[in-house]
Homo-oligomer: A and B are copies of this chain.
Amino acid sequence: MRTKLSSATKEVIIGDGLPTVLIGERINPTGKKEMAETLKVGNLEIICKVALAQVQAGADILDVNINTFGVDEVTMLPQAVQAVMETVDVPLCLDCTNPKALEAALKVYKGKPLINSVSGEEQSLAKILPLVREYGTAVIGLTQDSDGIPGDSERRVAIAQKIVERAEAAGIPREDVIIDCLSLAVGADTRAGLVTIDSIQRIKAELGVNMTLGASNISFGLPDRNLLNSAFLAIIIAAGVTCPIVDTAKVRPIVLAADLVLGHDKRGRRYTEAYRQRQDAGSI
């Protein structure tokens, strides 16, 4: 299955067997004090700087999240989207659950963006799917509902199924739904990774849709998080994740390595080119 996203000038295709598409996660004020403070006063400089750095590090899509206390998303999300569009040329992922703010951002967006996210909750489906349909976007469907994130893969698959069915019933093609199976911290629950991997494999087999995942939750509370995230990324990409949400600069090398061993990188051109770039940059 192929999901197409675009900016004004660039198209990105997400699909099985293609190179993994990286969604940069860094435009997000959670835990970033300076970004949060400047956002509150309507200053978008840091966001643009972070946008540029991620694209230079190889991000194919940027997630844009400005949700923090004291920021009015309805006003600021379109401004942030506008500023990022003027800074970089990659498609954007509008990370917001407020339908008014989403609609305001969709009105200024040029191209076909990704909306992050809808869940299996009725209220969320009712608010988000009409926007996806009206503006012809793609959407990330989270495998959680009013009971939270299920602890077993059966129920996560069932929620994914429900989201895909409801999207199709609303006139949204299946290829425009990207499922996020979610991962909890393996430090708190030894089975957390297994449940997520199993959900991904089942959804790939049963629904065939593209999948994303914020791969860094898995390592919460543990040391050397990048090592754990790297192992997990390689495994979930092999299992069926096609467009993870990541800190691009940190994980691009392992993702390119996974792509090469999984046959997503003909003759290893992307891998060897990235190796040369890291060499030139003096990072190896």
Is A265 part of the binding interface, using a Cβ–Cβ cutoff of 8 Å?
A: yes
Contacting residues, chain B, for A263 (C-beta < 8 A)? 186, 190-191, 193-194
- How long is the Cα–Cα vector from A284 to B226 in the complex, in angstroms? 12
Chain A positions 216-232 with a Cβ under 8 Å from a chain B Cβ: 218, 222-224, 227-228, 230-232
Interface contact B228-A266, CB-CB below 8 Å: no
CB distance from A249 to the nearest CB of B (A): 15
Is A253 part of the binding interface, using a Cβ–Cβ cutoff of 8 Å?
A: yes
Interface contact A275-B231, CB-CB below 8 Å: no
Interface contact B231-A257, CB-CB below 8 Å: yes
CB distance from A258 to the nearest CB of B (A): 4
Is A114 part of the binding interface, using a Cβ–Cβ cutoff of 8 Å?
A: no
Among A187, A224, A267, A284, which residue has the most Cβ atoms of chain B within 10 A?
Answer: A224
Is A254 part of the binding interface, using a Cβ–Cβ cutoff of 8 Å?
A: yes
Which DSSP category, helix, strand, loop or mixed, fits chain A's interface?
helix
Interface contact B218-A230, CB-CB below 8 Å: no
Is A261 part of the binding interface, using a Cβ–Cβ cutoff of 8 Å?
A: yes
CB distance from A58 to the nearest CB of B (A): 15
Known contacts A197-B262, A228-B271; 9 further A-B pairs (Cβ under 8 A)? A186-B260, A187-B267, A190-B267, A193-B262, A223-B275, A224-B284, A227-B254, A232-B234, A235-B235
- Measured CB to CB, the residues of A under 8 A from B are 186-187, 190-191, 193-194, 197, 218, 222-224, 227-228, 230-232, 234-235, 238-239, 253-254, 257-258, 260-263, 265-268, 271-272, 275, 284
